[in-house]
Amino acid sequence: MGAVMLQGTGSDVGKSVLVAGICRLLTNRGMTVRPFKPQNMSNNAAVTLDGGEIGRAQALQALACRVSPHVDMNPVLLKPQSDKSAQVIVHGKVHDTGNASYFRSQKKQLLEAVLASYGRLSDEADIVIVEGAGSPAEINLRAGDIANMGFARAANVPVVLIGDIDRGGVIASIVGTKAVIDSEDAAMIRGFLINKFRGDVSLFDDGYHAIADRTGWDGLGVIPWLPMIHKLPAEDAVVLQQPERATDAVIEIAVLMLSRIANFDDFDPLRLEPQVRLQMVPPGEPIPASASLIIIPGTKATIADLNFLRAQGWDIDIAAHVRRGGHVLGICGGYQMLGRTIADPDGIEGAAETVDGLGLLPVDTVLTSSKTLTNIAGKSIADDQIFGGYEIHVGDTHVQIGNAESQPMLRLNDGREDGRVSSDGRISGCYIHGLFDAAAQRQTWLARLGAVSNGEEQGAVVDEALDELANALEEFVDIERLLMIAGVRV
């Protein structure tokens, strides 16, 4: 068994995507490959077959390996729910809620959980591709680290460092990492990769050699800006700040960028539709009056983000949009916000309280300590179109029996009904993430708004992009040297 860990000089340098691409590349070569991230911090979570949750990036990496996601692939997941605290998920289940001092005090126990998961994956794989988090140069966090060098040294896994040349300063970021980290940590790094290069790669030859000379690490390649990456789900919310690509759009769909937005890859299929302009509405900006559909997405903290929504004045914009005859969709926490009330009697999200929702659907929600985690499939009731997706939420939402103001939205394969649709069909809400992945379901939504869909299944789009990424990495990365570093015979 071999292993190698990809760490970065910072966040959003491409670690998650490169791990996915290498996983698919080696899987295509016939190897048994497993992805692993010791600790992730993200509100983008996926549901595993055994009813746990892990980061969605690790779910993508599992797909790249052509295996089902498993809780061992991301044994510790931190889900921020305020500026100073996060829900702690260990082996797929809620373990606790803590702040920075909590994590430092729990380092030993969390590291034990991480190493146990890594050991199980190692036993079943030819090679494990490990993803770091943030940067090892954050030496102020080194004492309690289990995500980067803390794990690498505990498990004796060699490291390849990734630098992002697109953001500038890549020579200083890589050489500077070696300068600031502990010498024993630096000894774990065996090579480096340059990512996101635009233009003539030969122009960087001198810089590439300068990094190798100053660090003593092997250069494993310069990876250009790869166009297929925009088809893959992004883990870091920084992607939401980037401009949408230009299209010949005929409709506009506005998604509210809540402060604790979760599972925003729900909207990737819409982003890829040529006739759709997907507008992520940032805080402080009004919702475009030109939008045909407003989507209130999932969130880690429903009541806090409902207050946030109102603070932006978006409740006023939504009310005006509805008066104009526009459509509104709420997903998960967004569905809860569309209702009449949200009650938190046990203080799950903070103070025990009951707040008024937006009042657009005749439902009431009670937040509960238990979390629903399940993969699900079914059909939309109005048009009988199939969908597949997953539920990941706290809270039960109920409609008053006999209420004629709305109808159920979805019928699940297990016989349950989910969500509600207003009597005029313009206000909808449900708990299902991944609703737009199915081509038929997405076609129906877009036709209702006046657009024609590309008709592509999102799963097929992602799988094809992974193969394209793997082929590109075969060309630009010294995979044989990477395998030698990982301890795999080539």
299-356 tens-digit pLDDT: 999 999 999 999 999 999 999 999 999 999 999 999 999 999 999 999 988 889 999 9
Burial class (CB in 10 A: 0-12, 13-18, 19+), 245: exposed
pLDDT of residue 152: 98
Mean pLDDT on 399-421: 87
Burial class (CB in 10 A: 0-12, 13-18, 19+), 97: middle
Task: Give one DSSP letter per residue of 210-250, joined into a string.
Answer: HHHHHH-PEEEEEEEPPGGGGGSPP-SGGGGGSPPPP---S
* Residue 88, strand partner residues: 78, 96
239-294 tens-digit pLDDT: 555 545 546 899 999 999 999 999 999 999 999 999 999 999 999 999 999 999 99
Burial class (CB in 10 A: 0-12, 13-18, 19+), 27: buried
pLDDT of residue 489: 82
The angle, 0 to 180 degrees and rounded to 10, between the axes of the packed helices 302-311 and 314-323 is 80
Cβ(35)–Cβ(55) below 8 Å: no
Distance CA 161, CA 177 (A): 9
Mean pLDDT, rounded, of the chain: 93
pLDDT of residue 86: 84
Mean pLDDT on 389-414: 88
Map residue 468 onto helix, strand or coil.
Answer: helix
Mean pLDDT on 6-22: 96
In 3D, which of 264, 262, 344, 338 has the Cα closest to residue 87? 262
pLDDT of residue 154: 97
pLDDT of residue 450: 96
CB neighbours of residue 307 within 10 Å = 12
Cβ(1)–Cβ(36) below 8 Å: no
Task: Give one DSSP letter per residue of 68-115, joined into a string.
Answer: ---GGGSSEEEEE-SSS-EEEEETTEEEEEE-HHHHHHTHHHHHHHHH
Task: Give one DSSP letter per residue of 240-276, joined into a string.
Answer: GGSPPPP---SEEEEEE--TTEE-GGGGHHHHT-TTE
With cut-offs at 50, 70 and 90, classify the pLDDT of residue 238.
very low
pLDDT of residue 236: 58
With cut-offs at 50, 70 and 90, classify the pLDDT of residue 402.
low
As annotated, the active-site residues are 332, 433
pLDDT of residue 250: 94
120-176 tens-digit pLDDT: 999 999 999 999 999 999 999 999 899 999 999 999 999 999 999 999 999 999 999
pLDDT of residue 261: 95
Residue 237 has pLDDT above 60, yes or no: no
With cut-offs at 50, 70 and 90, classify the pLDDT of residue 212.
very high
Distance CA 144, CA 138 (A): 11
75-123 tens-digit pLDDT: 999 998 776 678 899 999 988 887 767 777 788 899 999 999 999 999 9
Residue identified by tokens 């020579």 is 171
423-441 tens-digit pLDDT: 999 999 999 999 999 999 9
pLDDT of residue 309: 98
Enclosing H/E stretch for 141:
none
Mean pLDDT on 41-51: 91
Cβ(391)–Cβ(373) below 8 Å: yes
In 3D, which of 121, 170, 211 has the Cα closest to residue 9? 170
